[in-house]
Chains A and B, each alone.
Chain A
């Protein structure tokens, strides 16, 4: 490099650029972006510096902040006039997963709730669609075998095709998705005992051609039951998101679900509070129908992340009924923004877990 730089003595070397970039910290992983290996393809040509900033998720909530900081620091170096940053991402594999049949799936996130009717499926669908819209490869499995709703929310109600003995997941909203609702007619009830439910879930997990996924989101049935236990035993989950309403938190119903996850050593990625407030469609006023701040208080007490609040908004419901998640149909709506921020926080928590969790194996 030295002879190349002879006539441009002021141009910085790679070490100098990396030294200033070391000042940029990833706030979630609490390490600098150089040590984390985020800087790729660093090229210095005369007074212009180019590099890739390779993050752990395309849905990174602080990507712009980290990029701007990196640009500013490098620009401040003597001899640098132009800085080009190419934003890329590569979702890390949870250390536990590759042993199982879900080889191409990097992270599995379950979405659960203490009781039914808190909007768990709506949140799961919108988290999945937001991650996919950010550029991640996402799958959604409706594990609520008794009352599957994702086929309606995604507008696909035809049975999936099979190739050989593998089920081909349906495609909608940028997602690969599978639901028990696609195997039985929607208006027919499923009356199954535990072992049947377990079998059905295993089939949806292991016999579906999920392919390569950054995130597989699993929408759980409410409460704690056979499906939860099967899931906890059959696959190493990256973590779980708990959805509750302010009221449900007050009644401590979601605590049971929380304990179940703790007992089966499934990391809790955080709490989402749904139906936090009501936005009047006529006057846009905001009412806290079920009280205020319950979710964030509970999260703080339990020492788990609070992922955000979602309003009781007619548009969320109507978009679900129309078969297009609101984050895609009305991306600029304030409810969509809340849901997107929650998806980004989930992605950030998953990244943290992928660095923390040690890979266990029987030697």
Chain B
């Protein structure tokens, strides 16, 4: 699914609680991310095989009560999270974050 610039440009980034992040996109869509959902998708080389993309970090490795310790902007294209398990090497580009949107509409579109 090719997404246009508005769909992948956030206009608001808000930590609603230690365990939930809200992104509002330029196309008006809103994405609510529970912290464990994002932690399980971490794209860094320690969590995903760099060549094959296969998961190294398995979903069951991430506890359901994991939270954001820090959320930082990376330049103008991505977010970097520090989690309560101490991990902080993943860089989540805005494109990737929009693809990960767990809402029903987006899930249905990506299938």
A225 to chain B, nearest CB (A): 16
Interface size, A (range) = 10 to 19
Q: How far is the CA of A264 from the CA of B11 in the complex (A)?
A: 16
Q: Which residues of A contact B78 (CB under 8 A)?
A: 233
Q: B77 to chain A: which residues have CB within 8 Å?
A: 232, 263-266
> A96 — which chain B residues lie within 8 A by C-beta?
76
Chain A CB within 10 A, most for which of B10, B75, B91:
B75
**Stretch of A20-28, A275-283, A317-325, A354-362 lying at the B interface:** A354-362
Interchain CB contact under 8 A, A237 and B75: yes
B15 touches A360 (CB 8 A): no
List residues of B whose CB falls within 8 A of some A CB: 9-15, 71-79, 91, 93-94
Decide yes or no whether A236 CB sits under 8 A from chain B. yes
For residue A363, which residues in chain B have a CB less than 8 angstroms away from its CB? 12-15
Q: Is A362 touching B15 in the complex (CB atoms < 8 A)?
A: yes
Within 8 Å by CB of A233, from B9, B14, B71, B75, lies B75
- CB-CB under 8 A from A360, the residues of chain B are 10-11, 13, 73, 76
Contact across chains for A361 and B75 when beta carbons are under 8 A apart: no
Alpha-carbon distance A235/B75, docked complex (angstroms) = 5
Beta-carbon contact of B73 and A358 below 8 Å: no
The residue on B at minimum CB distance from A229 is B75
> A234 interface residue, CB < 8 Å from B?
yes
The smallest beta-carbon distance between B90 and chain A, in angstroms, is 13
A and B contact pairs by CB, cutoff 8 A, 10 listed:
A231-B75, A234-B75, A235-B75, A236-B76, A237-B75, A265-B75, A360-B10, A362-B13, A362-B72, A363-B15
Bound complex: CA A361 to CA B72 (Å): 9
Bound form: Cα–Cα A232–B11 in Å: 19
Q: How far is the CA of A234 from the CA of B76 in the complex (A)?
A: 10
Task: List the B side residues contacting A231 at CB < 8 Å.
Answer: 75
A197-B41 Cα distance, complex, nearest whole Å? 30
- Please give, as numbers and ranges, the residues of chain A lying within 8 Å of B75 by CB-CB distance: 231-237, 264-266
Q: Which residues of B contact A236 (CB under 8 A)?
A: 73, 75-76
Chain A 275-306 interface 0/1 with B at a Cβ cutoff of 8 Å (1 = within): 00000000000000000000000000000000
Docked-complex contact A233 and B74, CB < 8 angstroms: yes
Is the pair A265, B13 in contact by a Cβ cutoff of 8 Å?
no
B56 to chain A, nearest CB (A): 22
Complex Cα distance A188/B74, Å?
34
- Hey, which chain A residues are within 8 Å of B91, CB to CB? 233
B residues near A233, Cβ cutoff 8 Å: 74-75, 78, 91
- Since A231-B75, A232-B77, A360-B10 are in contact, a sample of 19 more A-B pairs with Cβ atoms closer than 8 Å, ordered by chain A residue number, is A96-B76, A99-B73, A233-B74, A234-B75, A237-B76, A263-B93, A265-B9, A265-B76, A265-B77, A265-B94, A266-B75, A266-B77, A358-B11, A360-B73, A360-B76, A362-B14, A362-B73, A363-B14, A363-B15
- A236–B91 Cα distance when bound, in Å, is 16
Q: Which residue of A is nearest B9, CB measured?
A: A265
Say how far B16's CB is from chain A's closest CB, in angstroms: 9
Chain A 222-240 interface mask (CB, 8 Å, partner B; 1/0):
0000000001111111000
Which residues in chain A, 319-363, are within 8 Å of chain B measured between CB atoms?
A: 358, 360-363
* Least distance between B99 CB and chain A CB atoms (Å): 14
Question: What is the CA–CA distance of A360 and B8 in the complex, to the nearest angstrom?
Answer: 13
Contacts of B93 in A (CB 8 A): 263
The CA of A236 and the CA of B78, in the complex, are separated in Å by 11
Chain B residues with CB below 8 A from A264, complex form: 75-77
A-chain residues with CB within 8 Å of residue B76 when the two chains form the complex: 96, 236-237, 264-266, 360
Nearest-CB distance from A264 to chain B (Å)?
Answer: 5
How long is the Cα–Cα vector from A361 to B79 in the complex, in angstroms? 10
Chain B residues contacting A235 (CB-CB under 8 Å) are: 75
Query: Who on chain A is nearest to B80 by CB?
Result: A233
Contacts of A265 in B (CB 8 A): 9, 75-77, 94
- Scan residues 235-266 of chain A and give those whose CB is less than 8 A from a CB of chain B: 235-237, 263-266
Cα distance A363–B72 when bound, in Å? 10
**4 interchain residue pairs of minimum CB distance:** A265-B77, A363-B14, A265-B76, A232-B75
Q: Which residues of B contact A237 (CB under 8 A)?
A: 75-76
Q: Which residues from A are CB-within-8-Å of B15?
A: 362-363
Chain B minimum-CB-distance residue to A266: B76
Residue in A99, A234, A236 whose Cβ sees the most chain B Cβ within 10 Å: A236
Contact, CB under 8 Å: A362 / B11: no
